[in-house]
Structure 1
Amino acid sequence: MKKANKSPRPVVHFVPSELLQPYNPVTVNLIGAGGTGGQMLTALARINHSLIALGHAGLFVRLFDDDKVDRANLGRQLFTTAELGDHKAVALINRVNRFFGTNWKAHTEKFDAESAGNDDAFAATLTITCVDTVSARLEIAGILANQSKRHRGRGRPTYWMDFGNSRSSGQVILSTLDKVRQPESEQFATAEKLPLVTDEFSTLFKDADLNDDTPSCSLAEALSKQDLFINSALANCGASLLWQLFREGVLYYRGFFMNLQEYTTQPVKVT
């Protein structure tokens, strides 16, 4: 009589306890205040408000962007005519702080090696990137790797969530910047490291235009490059992944690919 084959244990990633029950707010660097970044900031504010209501210390967010609001941003991004000419980061942070009573910070410079990469004061436990170019992702990946090696105290860089999209499709990928110690489990196989997006999809990055960030001159031109709802759709699903990270402390999936034209979402499993 043959023995029944044991089914493989599901692979999961356990979130460290210092994110689930922190003594201080979890530091978050949100890089990019455009279509996706603006939507993501509001989602983070909702997550923060809900976490605090549940007894968690909440989040402390810094928003980095050196761009200013122009007319092509109105409608597709979360800005009004009264904010034309203002820095995007300042306009969005001021609005969130007034609405939610937070004390989050706006930084009107790029997150690069010169402005933030060599200063551990700018290190954050979670970094979220909503940038337009491959070159920016590659630079940020290098900065985060160096910060993770140097920084050993509170707020040590641990996770990186990257958002990217084309006109009607996009993806969100969660990575770890170093190995995250996992508990022993008989029920699950555990993954202590989630691959960096720049390593896992390096072939795609090599084929892409490193600096394709040509600004749009009108809303109509902007909509020809990116669909009206791709940014908000990605932000909401990405925020749902973060909510699971903070509330459940275990991840079966670490991202997804989305196609709004076909109304499909393909999850990326933890392996």
Structure 2
Amino acid sequence: MKNQNARTTKPAAHIIPKELLQPYNPVTVNLIGAGGTGGQVLTALARMNHSLIALGHAGLFVRIFDDDTVSPANLGRQLFTTSETGQFKSVALINRINRFFGTNWKAETYQYSRKTTIEYSLTSATIIISCVDTVQARFEIAQVLSQSAKNHYSRDRGMYWMDFGNSRNNGQVILSTLGKIPQPVSERFRTVDTLPLITNEFNDLMEGADQNNEVPSCSLAEALTKQDLYINSALANCGASLLWQLFREGILFNRGLFLNLQDFRAQPMRIA
């Protein structure tokens, strides 16, 4: 009897709402951070938008937030050129994407925080992607998103939060829901309507995390002692693949992964 029950247990899955799979308007995305990972994610989103439109989808509308400017230490590891030194990272990246792909995406030259997002009324987006360096920034983003999810009921209400984080050779990308996402009745799957926030699930671990990445680097060589050359792009591609699966397949069995680039190991996070 025990073996029979094990064979008949439904696999856990999260079903994506139809409004994201067949939207009338582009799906709004707030990308927070235009550094090593954020720049790679933005490029992946532009490719995804182009491909979605070719497949009959309404595509994406992306707004990127970052108040930092390009420094010589950013060149090489991040997607900037010498001619962009001194420019806002968000502006440099968005201008390049808009020229290349013909999009009309927007850059915001300030931090994504409770104060600024309320002041400029820009908290609302269907998907929020954070690529920030500090634990404090993640907790503030979580606070903004939790409050925004309670107060917004428009088509741009927050539904998903994807967070990227990494150390020198390791990283993770985790997808969360901002509240419950109604799930259809399924005979094949045990549908899960809530994916926990990273700030709740890993609260103790995050509070004890090392904050060395807060100190800016003075050179590329120094920056590479903190983050390896390809950890950002590898992690960005993994997260983009998860987001692509969300749009193309409409069902998720994993909600993220832990990546160890030194040992070339990836550990998926199963939906439970």
Q: CA deviation at 1:4?
A: 3.4
Q: CA deviation at 1:211?
A: 7.9
CA distance in 2, matches of 1:224, 1:3: 51
Amino acid at match of 1:116: T
TM-score (norm 2): 0.97
Partner SS state of residue 262, structure 1: coil
Distance 1:117 1:160, change over 3 A: farther
CA distance in 1, matches of 2:98, 2:219: 29
Q: Which segment drifts farther, 115-124 or 63-72?
A: 115-124
1:1-271 equivalent positions in 2, closer than 5 A: 4-5=4-5, 6-117=7-118, 120-209=121-210, 212-271=213-272
- Whether the 8 Å CA contact 2:29–2:128 is kept in 1: the answer is yes
Partner SS state of residue 160, structure 1: strand
CA distance in 2, matches of 1:248, 1:20: 9
- Whether the 8 Å CA contact 2:123–2:144 is kept in 1: the answer is no
Q: CA deviation at 1:209?
A: 4.2
CA distance in 1, matches of 2:4, 2:132: 50
CA distance in 2, matches of 1:97, 1:14: 32
Which 5+ residue runs of structure 1 have no aligned equivalent?
none
Over aligned residue pairs, what C-alpha RMSD do you find?
Answer: 1.5
CA distance in 1, matches of 2:268, 2:3: 33
- Whether the 8 Å CA contact 1:111–1:117 is kept in 2: the answer is no
Distance 1:15 1:203, change over 3 A: same
CA distance in 2, matches of 1:237, 1:90: 25
Q: CA deviation at 1:241?
A: 0.2
Distance 1:210 1:225, change over 3 A: closer
CA distance in 2, matches of 1:116, 1:51: 28
- Whether the 8 Å CA contact 1:69–1:88 is kept in 2: the answer is yes
CA distance in 2, matches of 1:55, 1:3: 45
CA distance in 2, matches of 1:194, 1:2: 29
- Whether the 8 Å CA contact 2:148–2:158 is kept in 1: the answer is yes
Give deviations 1:136-193, integer Å, cap 9, x for gaps: 0000000000000000011100000000000000000000011000000011001000
For these two proteins, the number of residue pairs brought into alignment is 271
Q: CA deviation at 1:117?
A: 3.9
Q: CA deviation at 1:118?
A: 5.8
Give deviations 1:56-115, integer Å, cap 9, x for gaps: 000000000000000000000000000000000000000000000000000000000111
- Whether the 8 Å CA contact 1:241–1:255 is kept in 2: the answer is yes
TM-score (norm 1): 0.97
What is the percent sequence identity of the aligned residues? Answer: 66
Amino acid at match of 1:4: Q
CA distance in 2, matches of 1:209, 1:228: 20
Q: CA deviation at 1:208?
A: 1.6
CA distance in 2, matches of 1:117, 1:46: 30
Partner SS state of residue 61, structure 1: strand
Amino acid at match of 1:138: F
Q: CA deviation at 1:3?
A: 8.6
- Whether the 8 Å CA contact 2:123–2:145 is kept in 1: the answer is no
CA distance in 2, matches of 1:244, 1:96: 23
Which 5+ residue runs of structure 2 have no aligned equivalent?
none
